[in-house]
Structure 1
């Protein structure tokens, strides 16, 4: 008996860039349709008036609602008969079965921060949290606010993950989590401390000291500052 085919699925990528896929094939959308899809994708459900006012803030209410109707028409005619957006007279909600990568990342990060999710000894978990920023080329106010919230959440999750991995005697993965956090914001001390601690847990004193020295040089060059005394005292050798 042949196995049944996998059900079709739709992915909305908002991290790193905008991309809509149906069964791994791209679905092309114009600019306003992309903005509409991204807004509803992030909010899941929203009233029509809020969408119109947010996406077309400089237009009159009549023109904004007209632009919204045009974008919705474009979506419905360029989506391979998919229901990307479910429309009612007053509200718009994300179509059933549309998966949004930003939601997956946020849910995973929140589970880690709350210490409620399983601890996967798998680099794929770190890779999920190390995705790009939310729509980095977009400068709409609603995108900027969501982008900053997700960035802070990712940083907190990666720092927490690095600590949890170190506690569970997985220093190599702890280093990977710390480095992922450093790639996002290299001047924060917490992930550098986590990386140094993980190197020391592996018995790799040389790498720990090299990492500390690189961070010390970065702080001095960029901010004219030095690592905290607490960080320095964690090292096995007396600092000059």
Structure 2
């Protein structure tokens, strides 16, 4: 079910400041109309592309800040082979992908999707992901686009959507993956429950949902090794070597 367009989010006024150019590459007319309208109302300048060739032609022209790219777009899989631009000049990509095929589609695309949202779409989450991607060059949170984030033997690779602790591969859900990424990008920084919820889901959810998510991720990450995910009681959660903070 689509999220409410009327939800007040900080990304709306942030967008109006910059007027960033967003290419919406979606084949379904209804989804294309929804995204074009709501993204435009949020203050972004939008363009539409309904085919692989249209995307390539537009990207070759330059000046595009972000691409919202539907994994169902016809001819999308060979897109990497036909691109006509330097990877360094390629805009950020927000991939729209079904939850049950996330782990398969992202690596196969070869597009180095910067981030993703799962379908069916929620507009609040789409706008939240866009804000994160467009706040600064190469992603707003300081993470290397298409790179690997590491801490204490823990590594997360955005190009394959995989995470490891040493040699052990972590079997993560999309929400767990996104939470781990947010913690790694902000290593040694305490993140509030609200900050985590808005990053993971695009909206605030009850404390219980966040606690359960953190608990599941902690069991997978900290299994058989020194704890990396910690609680700062009354403040939130952080990731790093325990010597850097005193956990309550």
Q: TM-score, normalised by structure 1?
A: 0.30
Q: Name the structure where helix makes up a greater proportion of residues.
A: 1
Q: TM-score, normalised by structure 2?
A: 0.29
Q: Name the structure where strand makes up a greater proportion of residues.
A: 2
